């Protein structure tokens, strides 16, 4: 693990769970950060692709069980140690913030708002392009 950092995340019952997060190497993190925003957009994204990216990100997280560090490298391990979906969401957020300086200190919400504001224009442009192509074919 690169620069491990222990974090405690509370579940829906307010129980704290300890995780060891780490820095992700450059190339896997590049793939993660390139895929996360687009695959997680409601109605536009690809859930399965987003899930695969999440699995890659969380595989750099460990828990300590009976003095042994265990990587959360499978769906079963994640489900066993993230007691509810909120724990997993908070863990993802911790990992993204720890690995991306531009996501720290509230910049994440600004980035999301910026993307959210641009989506309608992008979607409109794509739809316009498809409509023009389909109208040419129908003529």
pLDDT of residue 136: 67
Distances (CA, A) of 66 to 19, 28, 83: 14, 29, 18
Which domains, and CATH codes, for the chain? 2-104 (3.30.2220)
Give the whole-angstrom CA distance, residue 61 versus residue 73. Answer: 8
Instruction: Round the average pLDDT of the chain to a whole number and report it.
Output: 81
pLDDT of residue 66: 87
pLDDT of residue 120: 72
Burial code (b: 16+ CB inside 10 Å, e: under 16) for 28-61 equals: ebeebbebbeebbeeeeeeeeebeebbebbbbbb
Above pLDDT 70, what percent of the chain? Answer: 81
Mean pLDDT of 29-53: 77
Lowest mean pLDDT among 43-47, 51-55, 103-107, 125-129: 103-107
76-88 per-position pLDDT tens digit: 999 989 988 989 9
pLDDT of residue 122: 73
Pairing of strands 16-23, 2-10: antiparallel
pLDDT of residue 76: 93
pLDDT of residue 36: 76
Give the whole-angstrom CA distance, residue 118 versus residue 85. Answer: 28
90-131 per-position pLDDT tens digit: 998 888 888 887 666 655 556 666 666 767 777 777 777 777
pLDDT of residue 106: 57
pTM higher than the cut 0.85: no
């Amino acid at each position: 693990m690169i620069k491990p950092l222990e974090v405690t995340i509370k579940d829906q019952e307010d129980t704290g769970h300890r995780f060891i997060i780490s820095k992700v190497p450059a190339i896997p993190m590049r793939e993660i950060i390139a895929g996360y925003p687009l695959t997680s957009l409601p109605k536009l994204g690809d859930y399965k692709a987003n899930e695969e990216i999440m699995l890659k990100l969380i595989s750099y997280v460990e828990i300590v069980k009976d003095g042994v560090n265990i990587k959360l490298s499978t769906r079963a391990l994640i489900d066993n140690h993230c007691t509810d979906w909120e724990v997993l969401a908070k863990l993802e957020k911790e990992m993204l913030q720890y690995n991306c300086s531009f996501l720290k200190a509230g910049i994440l919400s600004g980035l999301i708002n910026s993307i959210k504001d641009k989506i309608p224009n992008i979607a409109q442009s794509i739809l316009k392009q498809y409509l023009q192509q389909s109208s040419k074919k129908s003529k």
